[in-house]
């Protein structure tokens, strides 16, 4: 379907329209439309310098757009602050999680669960007794993320892939409606990639995921819908078969290290 227009009555949880970002006269993102369907895993891909990271930072409100609008579940969030949209349920990985290296995996998840029930602020003076009430829930989250054997291990001592899994577990603990992941596979070896891909698949049950990802093999297996950016503009969108057969996409990737 390439660049076919998307109709207004489809159930999009996130809608970015004509999103634009200019840095001192250089337009890094130019009138980009991204519509993310509720319950989908949506990937944003593109060759180096395409504007993916800038787009991600615009959607998570870490950057203010020069132009365009962003709606989350019908609410105009174009001018909202990151913490504000996190409260609405649109959460960037590692925005909330902040894994504490000296705390065990279990304590990290427990603190994150406490945060869900108490909102944004930590209250370290809360009785240890109260935190213990969340122990069972924390253990089952660790189990879901393949970390139960590491519950007593300080986060700092976990292998890289497991640390990534813990970060995702603490993000999910706050129960976001939509999760935005910035290159979740970056720096991971083959085995960890499989593990994290499975975690993302599980996370996506019952919520929406948008990810910027370089690993096209992962994108092809995980994504329901893909937006391809090149030179700050949307080149194509659709499922993997559609975009990977698009002449303009193939051309944009030629000469870059990755091929679709
Ligand atoms: N703060 C900034 N100031 C000036 N130019 C910027 C800034 N941030 C990004 N750019 C430029 O905008 C363009 C898009 O960058 P961006 O990092 O969004 O691309 P990307 O698709 O994420 O690239 P990569 O895959 O290499 O990470 C690049 O030309 C980059 O140099």
Please indicate whether residue 7 or residue 111 has the higher confidence score (pLDDT).
Answer: 111
Report which ligand 1 atom has the smallest distance to the Cα of 50: 21
- The residue contributing the CA closest to ligand 1 atom 14 is 51
Does the predicted model carry a pTM greater than 0.80?
Answer: yes
Boundaries of every domain in the chain: 1-96+177-260, 98-175
Please indicate whether residue 125 or residue 49 has the higher confidence score (pLDDT).
Answer: 49
Structure confidence by residue, pLDDT tens digits, 199-256: 899 889 889 999 999 999 999 999 999 999 999 999 999 999 999 999 999 998 875 6
- The residue contributing the CA closest to ligand 1 atom 23 is 49
- The residue contributing the CA closest to ligand 1 atom 16 is 51
CA-CA distance, 56 to 60, in Å (whole number)?
6
CATH topology of domain 1-96+177-260: Rossmann fold (3.40.50)
């Amino acid at each position: 379907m390439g660049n076919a227009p998307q109709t207004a009555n489809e159930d999009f949880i996130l809608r970015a329209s004509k999103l634009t970002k200019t840095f001192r006269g250089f337009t890094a993102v130019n009138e980009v439309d991204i519509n993310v369907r509720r319950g989908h895993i949506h990937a944003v891909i593109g060759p180096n310098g395409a504007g993916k990271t800038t787009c991600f930072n615009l959607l998570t409100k870490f950057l203010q757009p020069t132009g365009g609008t962003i709606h989350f579940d019908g609410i105009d969030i174009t001018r909202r602050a990151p913490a504000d949209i996190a409260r609405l349920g649109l959460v960037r990985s590692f925005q909330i999680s902040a894994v504490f290296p000296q705390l065990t995996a279990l304590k990290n998840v427990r603190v994150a669960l406490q945060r869900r029930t108490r909102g944004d602020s930590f209250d370290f003076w809360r009785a240890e007794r109260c935190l213990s009430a969340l122990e069972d829930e924390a253990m089952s989250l660790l189990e879901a993320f393949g970390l139960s054997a590491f519950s007593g291990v300080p986060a700092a001592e976990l292998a890289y892939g497991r640390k990534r899994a813990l970060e995702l577990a603490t993000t999910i603990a706050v129960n976001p409606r939509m999760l935005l992941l910035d290159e979740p596979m970056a720096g991971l070896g083959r085995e960890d990639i499989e593990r994290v891909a499975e975690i993302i698949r599980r996370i996506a049950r019952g919520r929406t995921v948008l990810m910027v990802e370089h690993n096209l093999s992962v994108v092809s297996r995980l994504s329901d819908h893909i937006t391809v950016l090149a030179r700050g503009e949307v080149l194509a969108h659709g499922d993997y078969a559609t975009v990977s057969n698009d002449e303009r996409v193939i051309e944009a990737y030629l000469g870059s290290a990755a091929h679709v």
